[in-house]
Structure 1
Amino acid sequence: MTPLLSATDIVVQAAGQMLVHPATLVLHPGRPLTILGETGSGKSLLAQALIGTLPQGLTARGRVTIGDRVLDAADPASFRPLWGRTLGVLPQEPWLSLDPLMPARDQVAEGHALVRGLSRVQARTAAVRDLDGLGLGRAGGLRPDQLSGGMAQRAAFAAARAGGARIIIADEPTKGLDAHRRDEICALLLKGAADGGGLLTITHDLALARALGGDLMVVRQGRVVEQGPTAQVLAAPDSDYTRALIAADPASWPRQAPRPAQGAPVLRAEVLSAARGGRVLFRDLDLSVHLGEVLGITGPSGCGKSTLGDTLLGLAWAEAGRVQRAQGIAPVRFQKLYQDPPSAFPRAVTLGRALDDLVALHRLDGARIAPLLDRMRLSPGLLTRRPDAVSGGELQRLALLRVLLLDPVFLFADEPTSRLDLITQAQVTRLMIDIAHQAGMALLIVSHDAHLIARSCDRVIALDGPLAQAA
């Protein structure tokens, strides 16, 4: 069987430092290949080197063969004629790939028109069909900023497929999605592969890796530590790292004993109701959050989890009801950890400059940055890069670090670990909970992962339609 794509001795470097050590892989038609690894391990950089999309400042070398073309990884321009037609990319951060001013339907139609050559009417019809198939029929007229994280990911998937590319590179395609939507995306990815297409997926989602099957590469610190058939590797892993990754699944975490609420609430909501796009998300919701308490919110994609957190912070309007915050506390100490950190970091400055600006603006202690970097397993060298030159997981941990510098009394963490591998997810979740308990910070966690919420939180609110249920 002739491979759709093969790569030999792919290396990625930055300022003389090797980020991805020589890696070789083969992608066969109809057989998915999944790259599984730790946050910041280089798995996304490896995929970007294969298609010529590395961020500025990073270089690659090695040989990539796609069909009858032999390409030099050191020459990213040579890959451009294949973009959209042969290579379709579903990026890790949908909001960076979607036009912020264009409705989702028009963005998908654009691919059908410009790449496939369909007429305007045909392209629009095809875009509506694509979005309907992803459960986004009613959201086609919305801009990316009006979509939830899961909805934006599905819209980006439709846009990536619009050009008819035979090979799809999917970078964390199910992050931020509930189990039902994850299975839908998985089925769509597999459908393309079943028709003889190629599918290369980068993920830290063990459930997705299992469902995709095919072959698996496990990457750690820029090195391939294990590879083989997915079922074989996950059933009987050879490396200690793979075994630790499997054992870190939230379903295996011990349950925490709920902590009783103490003192007056730092935030209270009464008969709160919200709607989006004419659809009621929740109605007549009462809740209070106390210092040191960890409250979880779970539910399917688009059910209003993020809207609830934004409403509590005053970032979104409520249809009815009111929110009261404890008096005498500076507004800056009510903070949000965003689901998609690229939307919260300035793109044109380094991460170190962004942190320094925060320190200067609020007269904070900059000496706290170094120990927080160490606690979150982040290299100080990351601060010399811009946001697009680090992994999504690294950027999410840096976003958490930035928020913690402000000593929040209430932190709304919107899918805070959706970009993290299982091991780092467990560590960061434990870090947030420890800080909440030790510093007396009220913590509101939103997640699609019911196991993570059930095993981390003192109380849980399940959103699924207008009526919310508290546990």
Structure 2
Amino acid sequence: MSQYELQVTDLAVTDRHGNSLVQPCSFRLAPGTALTIIGESGSGKSLLVQAIMGTLAPALISTGTIKLGDTSTAAANGELRRPWWGHSLALLPQEPWLALDPTMPADRQVAESYQLIARPGLSRTQAMTNARADLQALGVNTGAQRYPFMLSGGMAQRVAFAATRAGGAPVVILDEPTKGLDEEARASLLDILHTFIAQGGSVLTITHDLHVARSLGGEVMVMKESAVLEQGAATNVLQTPQHAYTQALLAADPEHWQLPHSVPITGPAILSAQGLSKRFGDHTLFKGLDITIHAGERIAINGPSGAGKTTLGNMLLGLVKPDSGLVKRASGLAPLKLQKLYQDPVSAFAPRLPLKQAFADLIKRQQLNPAELPVLLERLGLDSALLERLPSQVSGGELQRLALTRVLLLSPALIFADEPTSRLDPISQQITMELLLESAAERDCAILLVTHDHALAQHTMQRQLQIAPAV
């Protein structure tokens, strides 16, 4: 493996009005090492990575220098770094749905990286063999020949990672690589990263998963409000943090949350299902599944990535038809009262419609009280100025909280929350879950939660529904 050191010096990002989005920061990423960036959602972590890659939006300005190996470029000259892409420097973006070609099966997308980047001229047969071996190592055997829309969020994430790594770049940047992954899939991905680092590769990771930061070791950088607050060896930062924000961030890990008081399930049934089954092609997700949901009840759906957790939730909401079985809503319960928080918030908003207009349209169409919007935004720690932007111009964590705001405006009877906090830092995650639980309790609203975080499910839900792979 080629030996490349990534050196970033005084890298900063501002908008056209001179507002600071990333304050000047510097670091070195030597071969065979890891740097993990943790911190506040919306603090500029992804913008920092975009500035390194040279993919910032035209309205944003970057300064400083970026050096890879013997080649140094000004941060502002993003075009000069394009030849690095895939060959020397590879990026796994935060949203796998935006990274994958919707018209190509998973194995073909990975094979293309082998043919076009790693080894131009490699035969299609050999490239496909390599791609399928990579996907099998990541546990995507059943999804290798599926299109992205047929994959779960966790499976799409692993396909995007395989395509990123197939190019053979010695420096890899990963933006939230484990979101949507169950514990087994996360462990497999970390094993691959450890091997890559041991072979001389270097990994820059953005994550809200503190387990990932601890496992990768190396150095850790903590960001909040566009600035680096603390930086140093992972063992020092994560075990004896010096900054008050870092201390609060670590304390907000779901493992440290207090168990809620047990609440008896006394409300009427709002939804019931019997004998639900679903298969895609020759792959059966689940069969013969029964569930009843009562008003105000909190239920976690557990199961490995790709087991059908999202499909089950969509089925209960009437978005997917079961192959067999029946779903019944309580008499008089309108479909609008069954709401979903999407795992990938980009799929929940019209991409070309400013957020302000999207909320205004909702409030007008559903005759809602517009005064509730600023109240919810404040409770979720969101600046109302974000509404002036397009969905693509806010961070994944901010967009997820905006999606929650929209759901709560509708006063639903049931919220199907599909990994609702996977893009949030631990502090924002705790605040968001507390608001979700409080708002649901005020409205006697039931919550159906999909999460791979067992501690979060244990500390917030009343019971758990396990989905095992169908035999």
TM-score (norm 2): 0.96
What amino acid is aligned across from residue 189 of structure 1 in structure 2? L
Aligned to 1:391: 395
Residue matched to 1:46: 48
- Is structure 2 residue 290 aligned with structure 1 residue 289? no
Q: Residue 83 of structure 2 aligns to which amino acid in structure 1? A: P
CA 1:97–1:275: 2 relative to 1, 3 Å: same
Residues of 2 paired with 1:187 and 1:281: CA distance? 27
Identify the residue that residue 158 of structure 1 maps to in structure 2: 162
1:353 paired with 2:341, answer: no
Residue matched to 1:36: 38
Pair 1:236 & 2:237 matched: no
Cα shift at 1:85: 0.8
**Aligned-partner residue type, residue 251 of structure 2:** A
Shift of 1:119: 2.4
CA distance in 2, matches of 1:46, 1:427: 25
Deviation at 1:100, TM superposition (A): 1.3
Residue 114 of structure 1 pairs with residue 116 of structure 2:
yes
Q: Which residue of 2 aligns with 1:306?
A: 310
Contact 2:308 2:467 (C-alpha < 8 Å) held by counterparts: yes
Corresponding residue for residue 455 of structure 1: 459
Distance in 1 separating the partners of 2:103 and 2:258 = 45
2:20 pairs with 10, 18, 21, which one?
18
Letter matched to residue 198 of structure 1: S
Q: 1:104 aligns with which of 89, 100, 106?
A: 106
C-alpha distance in structure 2 between counterparts of 1:258 and 1:314, whole Å:
30
Question: What is the rounded CA distance, in whole Å, between the counterparts of 1:397 and 1:111 in structure 2?
Answer: 34
| Alpha-carbon shift at residue 242 of structure 1 (Å) | 1.1
> What corresponds to 2:91 in structure 1?
89
Q: Distance in 1 between matches of 2:326 and 2:303?
A: 23
1:142 — aligned with what?
146
Moved over 4 A (4+): none
Paired AA for residue 199 in structure 2: D
* 1:58 is the counterpart of 2:48: no
Q: What is the deviation of 1:278?
A: 2.6
In the TM superposition, 1:268-279 aligns within 5 A as 268-279=272-283
Percent identical: 49
Contact 1:34–1:216 (CA under 8 A) maintained in structure 2:
yes
Q: Give, in whole Å, the separation in 2 of the partners of 1:430 and 1:56.
A: 37
Q: Tell which deviates more after alignment, 148-157 or 274-283.
A: 274-283
Match of 2:81 among 56, 79, 88: 79
Q: How does 1:181-330 map to 2 (within 5 A)?
A: 181-330=185-334
Task: Count matched residues.
Answer: 466
On the 8 A contact 1:10/1:62 being kept in 2, the answer is yes
Worse-superposed segment, 187-196 or 86-95: 187-196
Alpha-carbon separation, structure 2, partners of 1:138 and 1:279: 8
Residue 455 of structure 1: SS of its match in structure 2?
Answer: helix
Which residue does the alignment assign to 1:331? 335
Paired with 1:426 and 1:458, the residues of 2 have a C-alpha distance of: 17
- Whether contact under 8 Å (2:4, 2:171) holds in the other structure is no
Q: Is the 8 A contact 1:257 1:458 kept in 2?
A: no
- Say if 1:411 and 1:442, in contact at 8 Å, map to a contact too: yes
Question: 2-side partners of 1:190 and 1:167: how far apart?
Answer: 13
The answer for unaligned runs of 5 or more in structure 1 is: none
Following the alignment from structure 1 to structure 2, what is the Cα–Cα distance between the partners of residues 277 and 421?
37
Q: CA deviation at 1:419?
A: 0.5
- Measure the CA separation in 1 of the matches of 2:59 and 2:371: 28
Instruction: For 2:70 and 2:300, locate their aligned partners in 1 and report how far apart those are by CA, in whole Å.
Output: 52
CA 200–85 in structure 1, closer or farther in 2 if over 3 Å, else same? same
Range 222-231 or range 47-56, more displaced: 47-56
| 2-structure distance, mates of 1:323, 1:352 | 35
Partners of 1:258 and 1:412 lie apart in 2 by: 21
Larger deviation: 5-14 or 282-291?
282-291
DSSP-derived class of the 2:350 partner: coil
Report the alpha carbon displacement of residue 277 of structure 1 after superposing the two structures with TM. Answer: 4.1
Matched, 1:418 2:422: yes
- Determine if contact 2:90/2:164 at 8 Å carries over to the other structure: yes
Which residue of the other structure, out of 343, 347, 350, is the alignment partner of 1:343?
347
In structure 1, what is the equivalent of residue 371 of structure 2?
A: 367
Structure 2 unaligned residues grouped into runs of 5+: none
Q: Structure 1 CA distance, aligned partners of 2:204 and 2:58? A: 23
Measured after TM superposition, the shift of residue 273 of structure 1 is 2.2
Cα deviation, 1:14-69, whole Å, max 9, x if unaligned, reads 23210111111110100101111111111111111111122342221111111111
- Measured after TM superposition, the shift of residue 3 of structure 1 is 6.3
RMSD: 1.5
- 2:455 corresponds to 1:443: no
Distance 1:276 1:396 in 2: 28
